[in-house]
Structure 1
C-alpha cells in the first residue's frame, strides 16, 4: 500500500503546511521551503515505519485545529502549532524528524550549506572538536540498564 493511500489528501495538505511552517523558503539563501514539491515527494516516499506516527501527528493537529490545518489562516495555524508542540509527544517528534531529514538531504539545501552532494559515508565529514567535559555528568551517572545474566 502506498503512502498516498495511507495519508489522506487532507493529511498530505497538512503535512505540506506544517513543513512550510517549520522551514520556510529563503530567497536570501536561495533554498526552498520544506513544502517544496520535491521535498514533499521525498517525505512521502520515505515515510516507511514512521507512517503511523506521522499520520497520528497530523490527526492530532487537525483535532486541535477543529478542521484541517491547511484551512486555517496564519495566526490560527501558529496558535495550533504552539499547542501541538506542547501536546504532540512522540508523534510530533517523529513528524519533525521526518521533515528535517528529508529537507537536509535535498541537493539545493546541501549546496547552500557548502556541503558536497554525497553520502556522509565512507568519507565522513570533519567536525570541529567541542567541549567533551559537557559529557562528564552523563558519564558520572549510574547505569540505567539491567545487566544481562
Structure 2
C-alpha cells in the first residue's frame, strides 16, 4: 500500500498549500486549517488507493503554477486554484475529498462542531429529515443498475 513516501517533497509542500486554501484555520472557531501537521500526517498516512489521483492533481497544479504552487504569492495561487477548479476533473475532486475527510475526522474539528470524539458506529448520528423528493430523478431511472442476486 502506498505511503507518504509516494509524494515528492514538492508534492507534499503543494498539498499543504492547497489544503490550507481548501480549509483555512479559524481563530473564531478555534480550529486548525487543513495544513495543520497532524491533519497532513493523516492525509499522507491514509492516501492508499487515492494516491494516483492525488499525485495527478498535485502535478496538474504545479503545471498550472509553472512550478511549485507553494512558492507562488497568494494572488497567483488563487488564480491557479480557480483554473484548477475549472479543469481539474476527477483528480481535483479526489484531492478535495481526501483533504476534507481527514480534516473532519480531526478531534479538534469534531470538538468545535459539538460532536462526541467517537467512531460514528455503532451509535450512529441522528440526521434531520431532508427533502426526499430530491431522490425522485434517481428513482425514475430504475432499471439502469443491475439487481443484486
CA contact (8 A) 2:39 2:103 kept: yes
CA contact (8 A) 2:2 2:48 kept: no
Q: What secondary structure does 1:15 align onto?
A: helix
1:108 aligns with 2:103: no
Counterpart residue number, 1:82? 82
C-alpha spacing 1:148/1:44, structure 2 compared with 1 (3 Å) = closer
CA contact (8 A) 2:31 2:112 kept: yes
- What is the TM-score with the length of structure 2 in the denominator? 0.94
Q: What are the residue-to-residue correspondences of 1:25-64 with 2, within 5 Å? A: 25-64=25-64
1:8 aligns with 2:8: yes
**What runs of 5+ residues in structure 1 fail to find an aligned partner?**
none
- What is the TM-score with the length of structure 1 in the denominator? 0.94
**What is the aligned residue count?**
149
1:93 aligns with 2:93: yes
* Shift, 1:114, TM fit: 0.2
**What runs of 5+ residues in structure 2 fail to find an aligned partner?**
none
* Shift, 1:121, TM fit: 0.5
* Shift, 1:88, TM fit: 0.8
128-137 or 109-118, which deviates more:
128-137
Q: Please, what is the CA RMSD of the aligned residues? A: 1.7
